[in-house]
Chains A and B, each alone.
Chain A
């Protein structure tokens, strides 16, 4: 008989939500931190916009981003005339470490040690992809100096960052 088995009567089961909320907060904090790290790595700048861009996305590879940052600018006014800004570089950022333009030698040293420490592919070559992200208004001299510093670290190939092709077609722009 049911009355003999349940001496105390049926109770309403309650679900303990504490663990669920713990996990949810863990997820929130994780995504907040990852978002901050990714935005730190991409220094604020306007990368070159190309005519008939052949830029493609870099896959999931072991990559090191070198940012050549421009002087501080106001993004709203810069959008109208992106090339009419100061062309001197403010700093170079390798990953999360910053270097002034005067001290590219230490950037070379750190880059060389990072290339050495990176995992090697089948033929013993470092499988590190270096991504050069420079603002579109910088003078070529400035970026050339950074490229020489990268060459001095024994790196032969570099990926230049530019916008990917837009989905809508645009007329070819005259730049004068």
Chain B
């Protein structure tokens, strides 16, 4: 009987203290009660999440895309201009050794790196706004013709060189 605490301080408590649900503070002396929030479970879960994401995170180099037109598309073409019967600039990749390739443009060859190839393509371009006075306009078709056993890396590198030189119509050669 909780009310007996105040009025009869000397009387023995008949009730079991384990089930006495009032706290030690009585109603009149202490001010507002404090809210207790047990944070243990929340911290456990947060550490679980943290450890999971730390373990599954991996730092990889980003992969991007280059847009290409396929050789013979019955799908929708990206350019509105009808196909011109112009002789395209042919970038030929011949395979050397197990994994190398030899680059040439229209059989004028021997470029050592793709940057050199790209610079040569830029030289051949006609674009007054960039100060270029070559014979080919930027929309002149460019065809990339690799050997069958040239590694894919060189093929995409050649494509990237043409894109870097700002040619807009670059395609892969038809299969032989």
Query: Given that A35-B56, A162-B63 are contacting pairs, would A175 and B118 also be in contact in the complex, using a CB cutoff of 8 Å?
Result: no
Most chain A CB within 10 A, of B27, B96, B99, B175, is at: B99
B109: chain A residues at CB < 8 Å are none
Is A87 an interface residue, CB under 8 A from the partner? yes
> A160 in the interface, Cβ–Cβ < 8 Å?
yes
Please indicate the chain B residues that have their CB under 8 angstroms from the CB of A51 in the complex.
113-115, 118, 157, 160-161
- Cα A161 to Cα B33 with chains together (Å): 63
Q: Are A174 and B113 touching (Cβ within 8 A)?
A: yes
Name A20-42 residues within 8 Å CB distance of B: 20-21, 24-25, 27-28, 31-32, 35
Given A21-B45, A156-B70 in contact, is the A9-B22 Cβ separation under 8 Å? yes
**Interface SS majority for chain A:** loop
In the complex, the answer to whether A53 meets B64 with C-beta atoms within 8 Å is yes
Question: Is A54 part of the contact surface with B, judged by Cβ < 8 Å?
Answer: yes
Report the separation of the CA atoms of residues A51 and B164 in the bound assembly, to the nearest whole angstrom.
10
CA distance A142 to B118 in the complex (A): 26
| B65-81 contacts to A (CB < 8 Å) | 65-78
The verdict on B146 contacting chain A, using a C-beta distance below 8 Å, is yes
On whether the beta carbons of A136 and B64 are closer than 8 Å, the reply is no
A9-B23, A35-B56 known; A158 and B70 CB under 8 Å?
Answer: yes
From B162, which residue of chain A is reached at the shortest CB distance?
Answer: A54
| Also in contact, A143 and B66, with CB within 8 A (given A6-B27, A156-B78) | no
- Interface size in chain B (residues, C-beta < 8 A): 71
A45-57: CB near B (< 8 Å → 1, else 0) gives: 0011111111111
Instruction: Please indicate the chain B residues that have their CB under 8 angstroms from the CB of A141 in the complex.
Output: 148-149
Q: Which residue of A lies closest to B52 (CB)?
A: A28
- Expressed in whole angstroms, the Cα–Cα distance for A131 and B101 within the complex equals 25
Cβ contacts under 8 Å, B75 to chain A: 151, 154-157
B54: Cβ under 8 A from any A Cβ: no
Any B CB within 8 A of the CB of A76: no
Which partner residue on chain B sits nearest A136 by CB separation? B153
Q: Which residues of B contact A174 (CB under 8 A)?
A: 112-113
Q: Interface segment, A11-19, A93-101, A102-110?
A: A11-19
Residues from chain B with a CB closer than 8 A to the CB of A172 are: 113-116
Instruction: Scan B135-176; emit 1 where CB is below 8 A from any A CB, else 0.
Output: 000000000001111111111110111011000000010010
- A128–B115 alpha-carbon span in the complex (Å): 33
Say whether B15 faces chain A, with CB atoms less than 8 Å apart.
Answer: no
Q: Is B134 an interface residue (CB 8 A)?
A: no
Give the distance to chain A from B110, nearest Cβ to Cβ, in Å.
11
For residue A5, give the distance in angstroms from its CB to the closest CB of chain B.
10
Query: How many angstroms from the CA of A151 to the CA of B101 in the assembled complex?
Result: 26
Q: Could you tell me the distance between the alpha carbons of A34 and B36 in the complex, rounded to whole angstroms?
A: 37
B residues bordering A, Cβ < 8 Å?
2, 21-23, 27-28, 32-38, 41-42, 45, 48-49, 52-53, 56, 61-78, 93, 96-101, 112-116, 118, 146-157, 159-161, 163-164, 172, 175
| Other A-B pairs, 6, CB within 8 Å; known A158-B67, A161-B65, A175-B99 | A15-B38, A57-B62, A83-B98, A137-B151, A144-B172, A176-B96
- Nearest 8 A/B pairs, CB to CB: A156-B75, A55-B64, A156-B73, A136-B153, A83-B99, A159-B65, A164-B64, A48-B156
